[in-house]
């Protein structure tokens, strides 16, 4: 594969954008789904969590498969699984069928996520820090754009068009990626010793758990803000835009993160998470303008932190064969633990959103304590 393939890079970014639709497209559909299937609103957290469970459980298998088959094949497999399951979910006959299909969409997401980063490393190895930033910016554009676009469309065409359109777009992006990146690195054999060593690397586990609170906040807040905004009297379309502005703001965060790699990214991440967690805890008592400011800040900061985190993991290991496995592991850790948070958030909301926001912000800050267990020289490998 050539060292630079601009069309290939574009195809990865486009697939990442449409992939993101299937993370957040359910947000503007939560209330209509609960009404269609006559289930309590609190149950909608199951649809969010089932997706995360699928995405979390299969991150490690995807990384292991990628170390044998290569990143390109594994990423394409994920996109095709995701597309087919999303399209079928548009025809769900009952709520629990939808929940099961969201799980399968999550499985597809698991096979794509870390392997797509490995593809970028194969195409542009000397710019991986910036590539990860752009990769996350593409995700944020798709996530935010999906929330904003589908919010006015769902009342007109129904929530099923949401899943159908998202699935078709992922399918098209998979075909485009397959055509523009015709081959990828292949690896022979199955090195169980090296795979086991990376899975058991305590640094990855501590880093993943330490930042899981931020990850959960970044996923849960955009999913539930539209419902919250509508509840407190904000116009439904405006509330959808406000929820969508969180990932949209992350576009700038993804771009900025590439310029921060010269500093100590771990210290930057801790300071940013504390500031954002504190703001989210008081979300229910700030005025209307303050809501916009907090939402923009969350999107910007969360993407900076997540991009820095993935760059740290990518540079921890000099063997590119295991990049997808290493990033998949940390994502699996965060999705596995983070998948519980939307359900907890929904059930705490029974007592009021103010308690849910306090829980979400407090959880983001509390998990940072785990980072104290990292070796003192942890960032030495990162020095330039």
Residues 245-300: tens digit of each pLDDT: 888 888 888 888 767 766 778 888 899 999 999 999 999 999 999 999 999 999 99
- Residue whose C-alpha is closest to residue 298's, from 355, 237, 230, 243: 243
Asked which of 199-208, 340-349, 375-384 is least confident by mean pLDDT, the reply is 375-384
Task: Give the pLDDT confidence score for residue 185 in this predicted structure.
Answer: 61
CATH topology assigned to domain 6-186+202-376: Growth Hormone; Chain: A; (1.20.1250)
pLDDT above 90 for 241: no
Q: What pLDDT is stored for residue 15 in this prediction?
A: 95
pLDDT band (50, 70, 90) for residue 106: very high
Which tens digit of pLDDT belongs to each residue from 133-151? 888 889 888 888 887 888 8
Residue 210 has pLDDT above 90, yes or no: yes
Residue 338 in contact with residue 223, Cβ under 8 Å? no
For residue 1, pLDDT over 60 is answered with no
Q: Which two tokens stand for residue 128?
A: 């991986």
Whether pLDDT at 162 is above 60: yes
- Nearest-5° Cα angle at 250, 342 to 159: 50
Q: What is the mean pLDDT of residues 357-367?
A: 96
pLDDT on residue 2: 43
Rounded CA separation 129/309 (Å): 10
Kindly indicate the confidence band of residue 327, based on its pLDDT and cuts at 50, 70 and 90. confident
Distance, in Å, from the CA atom of 24 to the CA atom of 213, rounded to the nearest integer, reads 18
List the Cα angle 275/278/279 in 5-degree steps.
90
Judge contact between 383 and 299, C-beta under 8 A: no
Task: State the average pLDDT for the chain.
Answer: 87
Instruction: Write the CA distances from 124 to 8, 61, 119, 244, 316, integer angstroms.
Output: 10, 25, 9, 30, 17
Lookup: tokens for 240:
């959808």
Q: Which residue has the higher pLDDT, 171 or 261?
A: 171
The per-residue pLDDT for 26 is 83
Higher pLDDT, 98 or 342: 98
CA distances from residue 382 to 114, 120, 156, 264, 366 in whole angstroms, order as listed: 20, 19, 51, 8, 26
**What pLDDT is recorded for position 188?**
58
Q: What is the DSSP string of 343-383?
A: HHHHHHGGG-HHHHHHHHHHHHHHGGGGGGGS-TTGGGGG-
Q: Quick one: pLDDT at residue 187?
A: 59
Q: Torsion-angle region of residue 352: left (phi > 0), alpha (psi -120 to 50) or beta?
A: left
Q: What does the pLDDT look like over 215-240, one tens digit per residue?
A: 999 889 987 898 899 999 999 889 98
Predicted confidence (pLDDT) at residue 65 exceeds the cutoff of 90: no
Closest by CA position to 79, among listed 14, 32, 124: 14
User: Does the pLDDT of residue 321 top 90, yes or no?
Assistant: no
Residue 4 pLDDT level (bands cut at 50, 70, 90)? low
Residue 153 has pLDDT above 90, yes or no: no
> Is the per-residue pLDDT at 121 higher than 90?
no
Alpha-carbon torsion (88, 90, 91, 92), positive or negative: positive
Enter the pTM of the model. Answer: 0.76
Report the percent of the chain where pLDDT is more than 70. Answer: 94
Average pLDDT over residues 66-89: 92
As a whole number, mean pLDDT of residues 197-209 equals 91
Q: What is the pLDDT of residue 168?
A: 96
State the pLDDT confidence band at 190, using cuts at 50, 70 and 90: low
């Amino acid at each position: 594969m050539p060292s630079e393939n601009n069309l290939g890079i574009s195809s990865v970014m486009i697939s990442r954008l449409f992939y993101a639709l299937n993370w957040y497209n359910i947000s503007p559909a939560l209330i209509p789904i609960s009404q269609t299937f006559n289930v309590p609103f609190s149950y909608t957290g199951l649809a969010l969590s089932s997706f995360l469970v699928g995405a979390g459980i299969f991150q490690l298998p995807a990384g292991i498969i990628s170390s044998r088959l290569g990143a390109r094949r594994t990423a394409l497999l994920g996109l095709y699984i995701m597309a087919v399951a999303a399209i079928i979910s548009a025809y769900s006959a009952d709520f629990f069928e939808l929940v099961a299909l969201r799980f399968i969409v999550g499985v597809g997401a698991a096979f794509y996520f870390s392997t797509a980063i490995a593809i970028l490393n194969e195409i542009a190895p000397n710019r991986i820090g910036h590539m990860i930033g752009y990769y996350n910016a593409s995700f944020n554009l798709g996530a935010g754009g999906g929330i904003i676009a589908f919010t006015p469309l769902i009342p007109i065409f129904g929530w099923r068009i949401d899943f159908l359109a998202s699935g078709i777009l992922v399918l098209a992006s998979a075909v485009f990626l397959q055509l523009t990146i015709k081959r990828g690195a292949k690896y022979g054999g199955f090195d169980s010793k090296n795979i086991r060593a990376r899975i058991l690397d305590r640094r990855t586990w501590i880093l993943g758990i330490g930042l899981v609170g931020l990850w959960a906040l970044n996923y849960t807040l955009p999913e539930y803000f539209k419902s919250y905004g509508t509840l407190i009297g904000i116009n439904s379309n405006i509330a959808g835009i406000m929820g969508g502005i969180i990932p949209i703001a992350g576009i700038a965060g993804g771009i900025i993160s590439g310029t921060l790699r010269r500093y100590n990214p771990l210290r930057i991440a801790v300071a940013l998470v504390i500031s954002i967690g504190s703001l989210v805890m008081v979300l229910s008592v700030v005025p209307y303008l303050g809501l916009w400011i907090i939402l923009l800040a969350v999107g910007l900061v969360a993407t900076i932190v997540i991009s820095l985190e993935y760059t740290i993991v990518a540079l921890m290991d000099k063997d590119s064969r295991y990049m997808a496995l290493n990033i998949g592991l940390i994502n699996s850790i965060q999705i596995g633990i983070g998948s519980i948070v939307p359900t907890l958030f929904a059930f705490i909301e029974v007592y009021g959103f103010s308690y849910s926001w306090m829980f979400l912000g407090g959880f983001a800050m509390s998990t940072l304590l785990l980072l104290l267990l990292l070796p003192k020289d942890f960032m030495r490998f990162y020095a330039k």
